[in-house]
Amino acid sequence: MMALQEEALPCHFGSNNELFGLYHAPAGVARKAVLLCPPLGQDLIRSHRVYRQLAETFAAEGTAALRFDYYGSGDSAGRSVDVSWTRCIADIIVAARELRARSGCPALIAFGARLGGSLAIAAAAAAHFAELIVWDPVLDGVAHVTRLDALQAALRLDPMRFVKPRSTQDAAGQWLGFAVSPHLRQQLVELNLQPPVTRTLLLDSLPPDAAHDWDLLVAAGASVKILNPPTIWDDLDRLEHTILSHELIRAVTGHLREIV
């Protein structure tokens, strides 16, 4: 049953109000609460619409939701080059506290796409998540860095984007439009996620030719659901295309209805 929902409320929270968020309150008392952990870089912009749709659907079904931006991303304070893995995890913990305070729900479900999923896994114990829903999470940091480096190298030569190829120097220190610090790069190279002890649903929409290496999560008891059609995350031709997935929204909301 869809209830009349409140308007999403934009807000700032955390230390010095550095973090931007949008709280989606359900009509009446929240029965559950979901923290939506965004991905990083261009994935954040591409998945903004899906995150909004998810949060609105949750609120309409009586579940509170908080969307937010990490320090150095989106509308939060800080420059893009300031994004760091450890700060993102700290921000998730702060956002979880904010959501508990606003919703009155002590048990939180975390959702995250790509690196947002990886961050939700990494923060699960410290943020005391009761459940994780991760969508095509990045589990292999070295492979991810290699992929982003290759895309960045191709981007500066892309005749569809630039009239003349750009120099290596012009494109250095960035991934697909966002400045990246050596610190974040190293943190991703050294990414070593621990198997989550939290109940986890993995939504796999990677294309058939991608590495579907979910051993870390499957060994920890995660259930895996395949989504079709595949989501093309890493393709220069689609770099500025919005990601839309009705299948994802159906799968996540259907799963949430099953959680007591």
Partner 1 sequence: MRENAFRFGRARHLVGVVGLPASATDNVGVIVLNAGMVHRIGPFRLNVEMTRRLNACGYPTLRFDLSTLGDSSASAELESRPQQIRADVADAMTLLGEKSGCKGFVLVGLCSGAENAHTAACTETRTAGAIFLDGYVYRTAGFMLRHYLPRLFSPKTWRGFLARHLRNNPQLADDAPDFRHEFPQRSAIRTDLIGMLDRGLKLSFIYSGGMSQYFNHRRQFRECFGRVATHPGLSLSFLEDTDHTYILDTDRDRLLDVIEDWLLHNFPVVATSISA
Q: Judged by CB under 8 A, does residue 238 bind partner 1?
A: yes
Binding map of partner 1 across residues 52-81, x = CB under 8 A, - = no contact: x--------------------xxx-x-xx-
Q: How far apart are CA 194 and CA 216, in angstroms?
A: 8
CB within 8 Å of 163: residues ≥ 6 apart: none
Q: Judged by CB under 8 A, does residue 10 bind partner 1?
A: yes
Reading the block at residue 243, the tokens are 């990601």
| Pairing assessment for the beta strands 63-68 and 174-175 based on DSSP bridges | unpaired
What are the angstrom distances between the C-alpha of 34 and each of 74, 175, 222? 19, 29, 18
Reading the block at residue 175, the tokens are 């991934």
**Amino acid identity at 39:** P
Contact stretch for partner 1 (CB under 8 A) within 97-105, 121-129, 140-148, 169-177? 169-177
Token look-up 């949750």 returns: 58
Q: How far apart are CA 77 and CA 80, in angstroms?
A: 9
**Minimum distance from residue 238 beta carbon to partner 1 (Å):** 7
Contact stretch for partner 1 (CB under 8 A) within 84-92, 104-112, 151-159, 197-205? 151-159
Q: Judged by CB under 8 A, does residue 257 bind partner 1?
A: no
Q: Judged by CB under 8 A, does residue 209 bind partner 1?
A: no
CB within 8 Å of 102: residues ≥ 6 apart: 23, 25, 64, 66
**Out of 31, 48, 97, 147, which residue is the one contacting partner 1 (CB under 8 A)?**
48
Contact 73, 119 (CB under 8 A): no
**Out of 1, 160, 211, 219, which residue is the one contacting partner 1 (CB under 8 A)?**
160
Binding map of partner 1 across residues 177-196, x = CB under 8 A, - = no contact: xxx-----------------
Token look-up 């509170």 returns: 64
Contact stretch for partner 1 (CB under 8 A) within 88-96, 103-111, 116-124, 167-175? 167-175
Q: Which is nearer to partner 1, 138 or 155 (CB)?
A: 155
**Minimum distance from residue 152 beta carbon to partner 1 (Å):** 10
Q: Which of 125, 116, 110 is nearest to 144 (CA)?
A: 116
Contact 248, 135 (CB under 8 A): yes
**Minimum distance from residue 237 beta carbon to partner 1 (Å):** 5
**Out of 3, 104, 149, 161, which residue is the one contacting partner 1 (CB under 8 A)?**
161
Residues that bind partner 1 (CB under 8 A): 7-12, 20, 22, 42, 45, 48-49, 52, 73-75, 77, 79-80, 155-156, 159-164, 166, 170-171, 173-174, 176-179, 237-238, 240-242
